[in-house]
Chain A
Amino acid sequence: EVQLVESGGGLIQPGGSLRLSCAASGFTVSGSYMNWVRQAPGKGLEWVSVLYTGGMTYYADSVKGRFTISRDNSRTTLFLQMNSLRAEDTAVYYCARDSVWGSGTFDIWGQGTMVTVSS
């Protein structure tokens, strides 16, 4: 079965760091354009970052310089390293596969992992 499962969320103080993981099954993350999308409580979806098959990365202005997207050599896990966290980073974080090479066709989503930034 093709699926994504996120983990690593939790409560973190402002200024802290957290690393989210997204485990893929049924396909390899290295063979797909993989994205992170977040949703603050009661708010809309916000695109966060993408990792291309060739290794290129792009970020939303709101997280640029603080977040880093990467994948492991096993080709099955996507990561999001989040540093200098702020209250406004509080959200459910989803990983999603773009099935049509950068078109934003997010066909597979994980269930999401909650990140709460608060003192």
Chain B
Amino acid sequence: QSALTQPASVSGSPGQSITISCTGSSNDVGRYNYVSWYQQHPGRAPKLLISEVNRRPSGVSNRFSGSKSGNTASLTISGLQAEDEADYYCCSSTSSNTHVFGTGTKVTVL
């Protein structure tokens, strides 16, 4: 159950778009369309941003979008805002009926 691989950090200027990758294997990301993304601000619980690869829960800004190709999923944040500065985690279901999170990505708004 190795963690999914994410870049340690991504940065962008306000208004720009950034993309965070999440690479797993054929036993997790590549196996099911069960990839979710979470935003976590310091000292706070994670917040669901995207479920099932590209579904956005009610109340989540449409600036957040998800996709998947093979064993790699991606989260795109468009129109970057100061409030988007946080840690982001992907999560995938696995063939063992478990879940695995990504290593996490710190997003910095320049």
Question: Which A residues have a C-beta under 8 Å from some C-beta of B?
Answer: 35, 37, 44-47, 50, 56, 58-62, 94, 99-100, 102-107, 109-112
Contact = CB atoms under 8 A, between A and B. Distances in A.
Contacts, number: 77
A92 B51 CA distance: 23
Contacts of B104: 44-45
A47 B45 contact: no
Contacts of B69: none
A103 B92 CA distance: 8
Interface of B, helix, strand, loop or mixed by DSSP: strand
Closest 10 CB pairs of A and B: A105-B51, A44-B104, A109-B45, A47-B99, A103-B34, A45-B101, A104-B99, A104-B91, A58-B97, A104-B93
Interface residues on B, range: 20 to 34
6 contacts: A58-B98, A99-B51, A100-B51, A104-B34, A104-B35, A105-B48
